[in-house]
Amino acid sequence: MTDRALWHGQAHMPTSQAQRLVVTDGDGAWLTTSDGRRLLDATASLWHANVGHGRERIARAAYEQMRRLETYHVFGRFANEPALDLADRLADLGPVQGGRVMLTSGGSDSVDLACKLVRRHWQLEGRPEKTVVVSRETAYHGLHGFGTSIAGLPYNREGYGSASLVPETLRIPAHDLGAALAQLDAFGTDRVAAIILEPVIGTGGVFGPVEGYLEGLQAFAQERDVLLVVDEVITGFGRTGVMFASERYALEPDLVLMAKGLTSGYAPLGAVLVAPRVADRFFDGDDAPMFRHGLTYSGHATACAVAHANLDVLEEEGLVERAAHLEKVLADAVQPLADHPLVHEVRAGAGFLAGVQVVDEVRGDDVAQECVRRGVLTRTIHANTLQICPPFVTTEDEVRLVATTVADALDTF
Ligand SMILES: Cc1ncc(COP(=O)(O)O)c(C=O)c1O
């Protein structure tokens, strides 16, 4: 085991090598491991397996596109049909009217693109001092250069020699609107390019928005000429019971970031939906400026074909509505855990996802290990919290099984 070359992401390698869990097969909400165990995937892998594992139809879409044309790039005048069609589809589906879409390879790419584009926007507006990107404490926006710089989880930002890889960043309180606005006021919004936020904080411990926070921040941003970037990498494509959480929380973003549920993990793909306020100038007139951004695999044809098939499944099987229904089933199932002496807090009810925060005296990692031993795959995220975020195809009984397994696992400590 220990001589394998793979360097895991976000891993203490000695521990990960000793405890490596190799998933070999997936079918719906269930996984098989290399040692023959069958596990219920209570985290949808890394929050992405929304339509469930092992879908023949999506695999076929990839095969057929690859046989025809694996991909062709979309730099300059070049394009491919799946990318053109997917961009149109996302512009129609997304929570922004008349927007334009740039495609990426995943969530961190979408974050990087967005942070560059908001700065570019203000340069072109003749407001060159507006360079700072504001994020919330405990936020997670991926781990590229920009995502690292705006990380609200300090351990993801630290250890690179300077306070932030990109210096022009600022963190605000994640839930206290008054404190957040006071800090922004004191800092001076004339220097702020954008506020970026997850409508429901995921990796930071699963926190739905406190009433009034998102609305208040949005109103403030609109008043002060600050762009609003909504990171829907987890929440997009149904996780909160509607296609995008922006709809649920009445947000009007200037940029919407997508990944994960866009393909449910069947191919690496992300997208940024850009509102006309920002995008239009790049599309109109001979003297239109350029946004010098792009990736070899922006608009990868096979990944886009996979996204189409995934969205077809989502729509035809009514899985967004199903997620809305399962939100309540999950909330009812996990709520009793709040009475367990080893549980600090249960957070649910902001979509088909939940966090069970274990008291500091017990390591959440040990509880997660015990759950896996009992057949339910979960893991810990920030704040000693167990992540619960199953695929939308999970049955009601399986949702309840997740909760009872957590309870049984806790009883062993
Ligand atoms: C809210 C959010 N933004 C961005 C990312 C980064 O996405 P990726 O890991 O695909 O780069 C993640 C990943 O978990 C995320 O949860």
Write out pLDDT tens, residues 182-202: 999 999 999 999 999 999 999
Q: Which residues line ligand 1 (CB under 6 A)?
A: 46-47, 106-108, 111, 140-142, 198, 202-203, 231, 233-234, 259
Ligand 1: which residue has its CA nearest to atom 5? 142
- The string of pLDDT tens digits covering residues 40-91 is 999 999 999 999 999 999 999 999 999 999 999 999 999 999 999 999 999 9
**For residue 381, how far is its CA from the centre of ligand 1 (angstroms)?**
13
Q: Delimit the domains of the chain by residue range.
A: 13-54+317-411, 59-316
Give the number of other CB atoms < 10 A from CB of residue 244: 26
Non-local CB neighbours of 156 within 8 Å, separated by 6+ positions? 140, 143, 148
What is the number of the ligand 1 atom nearest to the C-alpha of 259? Answer: 10
pLDDT-based confidence at residue 3 (cuts at 50, 70, 90):
confident
Architecture of domain 13-54+317-411: Alpha-Beta Complex (3.90)
- The string of pLDDT tens digits covering residues 94-146 is 999 999 999 999 999 999 999 999 999 999 999 999 999 999 999 999 999 99
- The string of pLDDT tens digits covering residues 298-349 is 999 999 999 999 999 999 999 999 999 999 999 999 999 999 999 999 999 9
Contact between 233 and 266 (Cβ < 8 Å): no
Amino acid (one-letter) located at 318: G
- The string of pLDDT tens digits covering residues 231-254 is 999 999 999 999 999 999 999 999
Architecture of domain 59-316: 3-Layer(aba) Sandwich (3.40)
Taking the C-alpha atoms of residue 243 and residue 258, their distance in angstroms, rounded to an integer, is 11
- The string of pLDDT tens digits covering residues 251-299 is 999 999 999 999 999 999 999 999 999 999 999 999 999 999 999 999 9
Q: For residue 2, what pLDDT is reported?
A: 59
Rg (CA), the chain: 21
Tokens of 74: 């979309």
What does DSSP assign to residue 248? Answer: H
**For residue 323, how far is its CA from the centre of ligand 1 (angstroms)?**
20
Residue 1 predicted with pLDDT over 60 = no
**For residue 239, how far is its CA from the centre of ligand 1 (angstroms)?**
14
Measured at the alpha carbon of residue 269, what is the angle toward residues 53 and 157, in degrees to the nearest 5? 105
Residue 349 φ then ψ, to 5°: 100, 5
Return the percentage of the chain with pLDDT > 90, whole number.
99
Start-end of H helices in 28-174 = 44-47, 56-68, 81-93, 107-124, 145-149, 154-157
Q: For residue 398, what pLDDT is reported?
A: 99
Residue 168 predicted with pLDDT over 80 = yes
Mean of all residue pLDDT scores within the chain: 98
